[in-house]
Structure 1
Amino acid sequence: MNGISRREILRAGAVGSALLAGQAIASPLGGPRMMPASMDRDVFAAALKDLRAIVGADWVFADEASTASYKKSFIPDPLGHHIPSGAVAPASVEEVQAILKVANRYKLPLWPVSTGKNMGYGMATPASSGQMILDLKRMNKIIHVDGELGTALVEPGVTYQDMHDYLVAHNLPYWLDVPTVGPIVSMLGNTLERGVGYTPYGDHFFFQCGMEVVLADGSILKTGMGSVKDSTTWQAFKWGYGPYLDGLFTQSNFGVVTKLGMWLMPKPPAYKAFMVRHPNPEDIAAITDTIRPFRMSNLIPNGVLIMGAAYQLAMFHRRDEFWKEPGSIPDEVVKREAAKRGLGMWNTYFALYGTDKIIGAIEPIVRRAFEASGGEVMTAAEMTGNPWFEHHQTLMRGGMTLEEIGIVRWRGNGGGMVAFAPVAPAKGEEPKGQTALAKEIMAKYNFDYAPAYAVGGRELHHIIFLMFDKSDPEQENRADACMTEMITRFGEKGWCAYRSAVSTMDLVAAQYGATNREVNARLKQALDPNHIIAPGKQGIA
Structure 2
Amino acid sequence: MSNKYIALPKGISEKTFDSAIGDFRSVLGDAAVLTSAQQLAPYIKTMMPVPDSDHTPSAALMATTVEEIQKIVGICNRYKVPIWTISTGKNLGYGSAAPVERGQVVLDLKRMNRILEVDKDLAYALVEPGVTYKQLYDHIAEHKLGLWLSMPAPSAIAGPVGNTLDRGVGYTPYGEHFLFACGMEVVLANGEVLRTGMGSMPNSNTWQVFKWGYGPYLDGIFTQSNYGIVTKFGFWLMPAPPAFKPFVIQYENEEDIVEIVEIIRPLRISGVIPNAVVIAHALYEAPVKARRSDYVTGPGSIPDAAVRKLAKDHHLGIWNLYAALYGTPEQNEVNWKIVTQAFGKSGKAKILTEREAGDDPAFKYRASLMRGDMTLQEFSLYNWRGGGGSMWFAPVSQARGSETLKQMALTKEILAKYGLDYSGEFIVGMRDMHHIVDVLYDKTDPGQVKAAYQCFDELLTIFSAQGYGTYRVNTAFMDKVAETYGPVQRQVHKTLKKALDPNGILAPGKSGIR
Check whether TM > 0.5. yes
Matches within 5 A, 1:94-105: 94-105=67-78
CA shift, 1:80, in A, is: 3.3
- The Cα of 1:79 is off from its aligned counterpart by 7.1
| Equivalent position to 1:324, from 279, 297, 304 | 297
The count of corresponding residues between Structure 1 and Structure 2 is 513
**Residue 118 of structure 1: aligned partner:** 91
Amino acid at match of 1:386: D
How far did 1:171 drift?
0.6
Query: Match of 2:271?
Result: 298
Residues 2-13 of structure 1: matches in 2 within 5 Å? Answer: none
Instruction: Give the match for residue 3 of structure 2.
Output: 26
Verify: 1:184 aligned to 2:161, yes or no.
no
- Find the aligned partners of 1:288 and 1:260 in 2 and give their Cα distance: 35
Q: Deviations over 1:155-203 (max 9, x none)?
A: 0000100110000110101000011011000110001011110000001
CA shift, 1:125, in A, is 1.3
Question: Does the C-alpha gap of structure 1 residues 415 and 128 become closer, same or farther in structure 2, counting only changes over 3 Å?
Answer: same
Q: Does 1:231 align with 2:204?
A: yes
SS of the residue corresponding to residue 286 of structure 2 reads helix
- Contact 2:44–2:53, Cα closer than 8 Å, also in 1: no
Question: How much does 1:25 deviate?
Answer: 2.5
Q: Report the TM-score when normalising by structure 1.
A: 0.93
Q: Is the counterpart of residue 86 in structure 1 residue 86 in structure 2? A: no
For residues 103-153 of structure 1, what are the alpha-carbon distances to aligned partners after superposition, in whole Å with 9 as ceiling and x for unaligned? 111111000000110101001112111111110100000001112111110
C-alpha distance in structure 1 between counterparts of 2:404 and 2:83, whole Å? 38
- In the TM superposition, 1:361-400 aligns within 5 A as 361-373=334-346, 374-400=348-374
1:243 aligned residue (216, 225, 234):
216
Query: Cα RMSD (Å) of the superposition?
Result: 1.1
- Give the equivalent residue in structure 1 for 2:175: 202
Matched residue, 1:8: none
**Counterpart check, 1:406 vs 2:383:** no
Structure 1 residues 79 and 205, CA gap change in structure 2 (3 angstroms): closer
Matches within 5 A, 1:116-155: 116-155=89-128
CA contact (8 A) 1:108 1:132 kept: yes
* Distance in 2 separating the partners of 1:72 and 1:156: 22
* Deviation of the 1:311 alpha carbon: 1.0
Change (3 A) 1:315 1:75: farther
**What CA distance in whole angstroms lies between the structure 2 residues aligned with 1:38 and 1:315?**
47
Cα distance per residue 1:238-295 (max 9 Å; x no partner): 0111100000000000000000001010000001001000101111111111110011
299-308 vs 325-334, which moves further: 325-334
Deviation at 1:318, TM superposition (A): 2.3
5 Å-filtered alignment, 1:355-366, equals: 355-366=328-339
What's 1:215 paired with?
188
Deviating more after overlay: 327-336 vs 260-269: 327-336
Give the corresponding residue for 1:107. 80
Paired amino acid for 2:312: A
In the alignment, is the contact (CA less than 8 A) between 1:301 and 1:353 conserved in 2?
yes
Structure 2 residues not aligned, in runs of 5+ = none
**Which amino acid letter does the alignment assign opposite residue 33 of structure 2?**
V
Q: 1:448 aligns with which of 413, 418, 421?
A: 421
Unaligned runs of 5+ in 1: 1-23
**What are the superposed Cα offsets for residues 414-470 of structure 1, whole Å, 9 maximum, x if unpaired?**
211100100000001111111111011101100001101000000000001000111
User: 2:46 touches 2:52 (CA, 8 Å); kept in 1?
Assistant: no
Moved more, 500-509 or 123-132: 123-132
Distance across 1 between alignment mates of 2:455 and 2:244: 41
Q: Which amino acid aligns with 2:336?
A: E
* Partner in structure 2 of residue 173 of structure 1: 146
Question: Contact 1:78–1:473 at 8 Å: present in 2 too?
Answer: no
Residue in structure 1 matching 2:406, options 433, 445, 450: 433
| Cα distance in 2, alignment partners of residues 206 and 37 from structure 1 | 37
Cα gap change, 1:111 to 1:79, in 2 (>3 Å): closer
Aligned counterpart in structure 1 of residue 8 of structure 2, from 25, 29, 35? 35
DSSP 3-state at the match of 1:216 = coil
Query: Is 1:346 aligned to 2:319, yes or no?
Result: yes
Amino acid at match of 2:505: I
The corresponding residue for 2:251 is: 278
| Contact kept? 2:49, 2:450, Cα under 8 Å | yes
Shift of 1:75: 1.8
Q: Normalising by structure 2, what TM-score? A: 0.98
Q: Secondary structure at the match of 1:81?
A: helix
Distance 2:451 2:214 in 1: 50
1:421 paired to 2:405: no
Give yes or no for the alignment of 1:269 onto 2:246: no
- Structure 1 position 81, deviation (Å): 2.1
Between the aligned partners of 2:113 and 2:288, the Cα distance in structure 1 is 30
Q: CA deviation at 1:58?
A: 1.0
Q: CA deviation at 1:402?
A: 0.3
User: Is contact 1:27-1:64 (8 Å) kept?
Assistant: no
Q: Which amino acid aligns with 1:396?
A: M
- Identical amino acids, percent of aligned pairs: 49
